[in-house]
């Protein structure tokens, strides 16, 4: 596949030492340095400021925290989907609209993908609905999508890496405001609940500790979702005693004795997304995005630089390993 995508003014492509053929398939937005968000989404140019990548099939954006991905109720604030359609409408007289293929919680930020055609929406929806892979050894669309999140959690996580496998109550049965967890899958009651209840489902994620900020009593984790459940990262981390910082809904309020200043951001960021391009089967493309600049201002000064460096190192590693994903 040859890159035909459009670069936003604040877009950085991967470092030049990667081969040109591979680097065409890596799009990156350096939000913390180049694209701090302060817009209202009412101007089509706001979408250009948030753009990571665009071609005839895809529109990939940075979703700021506090912005709705899609309106849930009449009277809700303007959503990213609304703004994308306004942007597309300003470019062409056709009736093509952006189509939602996945979701990202309102208080979270990161890479957000919209489809521009029915065909692309169908192909991307297949990838997002399939179990997420941790590698791309298979060329089938069911294992092609890899999502990684950067998460700052309360407390010092002792394990270098781990897995959370929990039994969630299905969203339609759960509280409208919160995800509900029945038990850990290792609990003796889990097997019985799976056989006796029809309103539960297993949710699994894997995490790796990237940085411990002991003076602030915080930990930076990289999280990979093996399944996609509503509020999965937020609920599972709270369940094991490490709620996401500033996530008041799940008990992770900021500034509680850890030196962090209050901020409106829930410290959960969709940092990288690898998927197969919907019109070039089995050809992967990688999108990465640094966390919002406010992430570097909420901590004690001595910890801010360490956090920024750890996030940058993680994203650099995603790009460094991308050539191994590429399938000729």
Does 34 have pLDDT greater than 60?
A: no
pLDDT value of position 219 = 96
If DSSP states are collapsed to H, E and C, what string results for 43-77?
A: CHHHHHHHEEEECCCEEEEEECCCCCCCCCCCCCC
- For the stretch 191-243, pLDDT in tens is 777 777 777 778 889 999 999 999 899 999 999 988 777 788 998 899 899 99
pTM for this prediction:
0.82
- For 282: left if phi > 0, alpha if psi spans -120 to 50, otherwise beta; the answer is left
pLDDT value of position 174 = 42
Q: Which residue has the higher pLDDT, 25 or 181?
A: 181
Q: What are phi and psi of 133, to 5 degrees?
A: -95, 155
Most confident of 53-62, 67-76, 205-214, 284-293: 205-214
Long-range contacts for 229-233 (Cβ within 8 Å, ≥24 apart)? 229/168, 229/171, 229/179, 229/201, 229/203, 230/168, 230/171, 230/174, 230/179, 231/105, 231/178, 231/179, 232/168, 232/179, 232/203, 232/205, 233/149, 233/151, 233/205, 233/268
Does 17 have pLDDT greater than 80?
A: no
With tokens 């509503």, the residue in question is 230
The two most distant CA atoms of the chain are separated, in Å, by 59
Mean pLDDT of 30-35: 44
Q: Is there a contact between 80 and 68 (Cβ–Cβ < 8 Å)?
A: yes
Does 19 have pLDDT greater than 50?
A: no
pLDDT value of position 146 = 87
Helix (H) or strand (E) holding 268, with range, is: strand 268-276
pLDDT value of position 308 = 92
């Amino acid at each position: 596949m040859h890159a035909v995508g459009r670069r936003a003014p604040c877009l950085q492509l991967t470092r030049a030492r990667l081969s040109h053929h591979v680097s065409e398939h890596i799009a990156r937005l350096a939000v913390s340095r180049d694209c701090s968000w302060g817009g209202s989404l009412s101007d089509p140019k706001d979408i250009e400021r948030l753009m990571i990548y665009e071609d005839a099939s895809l529109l990939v954006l940075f979703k700021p925290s506090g912005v709705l991905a899609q309106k849930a109720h009449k009277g809700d604030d303007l959503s990213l989907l609304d703004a994308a359609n306004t942007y597309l409408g300003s470019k062409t007289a056709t009736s093509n609209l952006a189509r939602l293929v996945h979701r990202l919680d309102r208080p979270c930020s990161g890479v957000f993908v919209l489809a521009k055609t029915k065909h692309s929406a169908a192909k991307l929806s297949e990838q997002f609905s399939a179990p997420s892979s941790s590698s791309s050894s298979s060329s089938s669309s069911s294992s092609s999508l890899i999502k990684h999140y950067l998460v700052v959690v309360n407390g010092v996580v002792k394990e270098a890496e781990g897995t959370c496998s929990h039994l969630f109550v299905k969203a339609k049965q759960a509280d409208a405001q919160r995800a509900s967890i029945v038990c850990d899958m290792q609990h003796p009651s889990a097997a019985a609940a799976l056989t006796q209840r029809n309103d539960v489902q297993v949710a699994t994620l894997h995490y790796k500790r990237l940085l411990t900020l002991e003076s602030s009593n915080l930990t930076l984790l990289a999280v990979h979702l093996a399944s996609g459940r509503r509020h999965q990262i937020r609920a599972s981390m709270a369940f094991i005693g490490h709620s996401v910082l500033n996530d008041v809904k799940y008990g992770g309020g900021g500034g509680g004795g850890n030196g962090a200043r209050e901020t409106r951001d829930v410290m959960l960021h969709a940092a990288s997304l690898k998927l197969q391009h919907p019109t070039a089967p089995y050809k992967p493309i990688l999108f990465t995005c640094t966390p919002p600049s406010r992430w570097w201002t909420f901590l004690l000064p001595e910890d801010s630089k360490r956090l920024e460096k750890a996030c940058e190192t993680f994203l650099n590693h995603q790009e460094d390993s991308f050539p191994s994903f590429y399938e000729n």
